[in-house]
């Protein structure tokens, strides 16, 4: 039987792994199919303390993993399909069919990118529509692309793409960015980036079959429709928590975030950390901080039960 099973390997899961490993609990970490979470797909992380020149997201995750392993954390590349938190010990079922018995669990499964929900967008995911510039940007070298959204992700993706593509057009539904001021200013002052304010995407078109050629836009203030020729569409409109397997087993809020009190869920011995329980801050450093809190809470639980 495991002492503590940590589900997820973003900054929250890996920090929980480090702390529980250093406490001598030999944590088992279930990696999931996207090891490192969103951070692994981020280019340069400039706001994680301790790296004055920034650090690559994938490199940061790798270092966190090495640090946890040094103290005895073990990793398994599987996905959690089902849990039974009513049972003691807790039960965590993996995609390979194996069921793990564990005294405590920490959920750190993060969040996934949202899409606009247009049928034409769905059809062209992987054929010009993407939610990850770091993953797919290189396919659009010297071609025009659009980035949808006005948050920090949209800014980061636009700035990354501006170094590769011929032109970036940011499409935002309001007339001001949600993003932090510094990121918004960088986008506004980049000569390769144009911003279309108060504008929404109505359809993604593929005149060349299965290859994005253009998007149909509408100005929400004037109602005016237009078309913009682009080869790629990068959607950056927020995230949904990856709490699916835990629905009905721990309390979730109306948007699917796990409800926590100092990282404790409503089930004794089960904690949650990082973006899966944080609709507010969603930063690597806050995820890491909550991973530490969850580890300390799990340790306290194990010491008293
Ligand atoms: P956000 O929720 O911050 O922003 C989402 C953006 O998408 C908003 O501008 C929103 O518009 C827009 N949007 C949402 N739904 C739709 C829709 N259906 N159609 C059109 N537009 C839509 O998400 P992010 O992923 O950008 O950021 C998440 C968190 O991660 C934030 O806290 C952010 O600060 C952080 N982050 C930090 C980074 C950094 O500091 N380097 C990098 C990336 C993320 P509206 O503004 O009108 O609501």
Q: Where are the alpha helices (DSSP H) in 41-130?
A: 57-70, 119-123
How many domains does the chain divide into?
2
Low-confidence ranges of the chain (pLDDT < 70): none
Provide the token pair at 40.
């692994």
> How many CB atoms sit inside 10 A of residue 136's CB?
17
Residues with CB under 6 A from ligand 1: 47, 116, 148-154, 156, 173-174, 178, 200, 236-239, 282
pLDDT of residue 41: 76
Q: How far is the CA of 152 from the centre of ligand 1 (A)?
A: 6
Judgement on whether residues 286 and 300 belong to the same structural domain of the protein: yes
For position 115, what pLDDT does the model report?
Answer: 96
Sign of CA dihedral 262, 264, 269, 271: negative
User: For this structure, is 135 an active site residue?
Assistant: yes
Buried b (16+ CB within 10 A) or exposed e, 61-81: beebbebbbebebebeebbbe
Residues 243, 99: one domain? yes
DSSP 257: P
Residue 89 in contact with residue 1, Cβ under 8 Å? yes
Whether residue 181 is found in the same domain as residue 102: no
10: preceding bond cis by omega (within 30 degrees):
no
Phi, psi values for residue 69, rounded to 5° = -65, -35
Nearest ligand 1 atom to alpha carbon 174: 47
Whether 136 is catalytic: yes
Regarding whether 102 and 9 lie in a shared domain, the answer is yes
121 and 33 in a common domain: no
d(CA 270, CA 255): 20
Q: Decide if 143 contacts 130 (C-beta within 8 A).
A: no
Element (H, E) at 194: strand 193-196
The CATH number linked to 140 is 3.50.50.60
Q: Are residues 176 and 216 in the same domain?
A: yes
Say yes or no: 71 and 206 in one domain: no
Q: For residue 136, what pLDDT is reported?
A: 86
State how far the Cα of 81 lies from the Cα of 125, in Å rounded to an integer. Answer: 25
Q: Which of 206, 235, 264 is the last residue of a domain?
A: 235
Which of 111, 221, 237, when mutated, tests ligand 1's pocket best, judged by the most ligand atoms within 8 Å of its CB?
237
Q: Domain check: are 100 and 186 in the same one?
A: no
**The predicted structure's pLDDT at residue 39:** 86
Residue with tokens 């965590």: 92
pLDDT at 199 (0 to 100): 98
State pLDDT tens for residues 50-87. 999 999 999 999 999 999 999 999 999 999 999 999 99
Q: Do 86 and 14 lie in a common domain?
A: yes
Pocket test for ligand 1, best of 38, 112, 151, 275 (most atoms within 8 A of CB): 151
Ligand 1 atom with the shortest distance to the CA of 281: 32
Domain boundary among 235, 263, 292: 235
101 lies in the same domain as 9: yes
- Ligand 1 centre to CA of 175 (Å) is 14
> Rounded CA gap, 182 and 156, in Å?
11
Q: How far apart are CA 147 and CA 158, in angstroms?
A: 6
132 classed as catalytic: yes
Residue 135: per-residue pLDDT: 77
Terminal Cα distance for the chain, rounded: 15
Structural domain that includes position 296: 2-112+239-304
Task: Give distance in angstroms: CA of 267 to centre of ligand 1.
Answer: 31
Residue at a domain's end among 235, 257, 291: 235
């Amino acid at each position: 039987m495991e002492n503590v099973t940590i589900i997820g390997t973003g900054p929250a899961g890996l920090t929980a792994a480090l702390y529980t490993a250093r406490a001598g609990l030999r944590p088992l970490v279930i990696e999931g199919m996207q090891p490192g979470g969103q951070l692994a797909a981020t280019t340069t992380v400039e706001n994680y303390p301790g790296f004055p020149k920034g650090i690559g997201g994938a490199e940061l995750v790798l270092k966190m993993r090495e640090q946890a392993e040094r103290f005895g954390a073990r990793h398994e590349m599987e996905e959690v399909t089902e849990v039974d938190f009513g049972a003691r010990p807790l039960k965590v079922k993996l995609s390979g069919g194996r069921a793990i018995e564990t005294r405590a669990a920490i959920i750190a499964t993060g969040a996934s990118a949202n899409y606009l929900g247009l049928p034409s967008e769905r059809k062209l995911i992987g054929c010009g529509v993407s939610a990850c510039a770091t993953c797919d940007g290189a396919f659009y070298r010297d071609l025009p692309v659009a980035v949808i959204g006005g948050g920090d992700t949209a800014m980061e993706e636009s700035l990354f793409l501006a170094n590769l593509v011929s032109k970036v057009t940011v499409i935002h539904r309001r007339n001001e960015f949600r993003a932090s001021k510094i990121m918004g200013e960088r986008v506004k002052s980049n000569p390769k980036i144009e911003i279309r304010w108060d504008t929404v995407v109505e359809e993604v078109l593929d005149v060349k079959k299965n290859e994005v050629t253009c998007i149909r836009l509408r100005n929400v203030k004037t109602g005016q429709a237009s078309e913009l020729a682009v080869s790629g569409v990068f959607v950056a409109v927020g995230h949904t928590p990856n709490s699916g397997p835990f629905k009905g087993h721990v309390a979730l809020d109306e948007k699917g975030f796990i409800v926590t009190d100092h990282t404790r869920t409503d089930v004794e011995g089960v904690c949650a950390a990082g973006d899966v329980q944080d609709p507010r801050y969603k930063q690597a450093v806050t995820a890491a901080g909550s991973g530490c809190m969850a580890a300390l809470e799990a340790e306290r639980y194990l010491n008293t039960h």
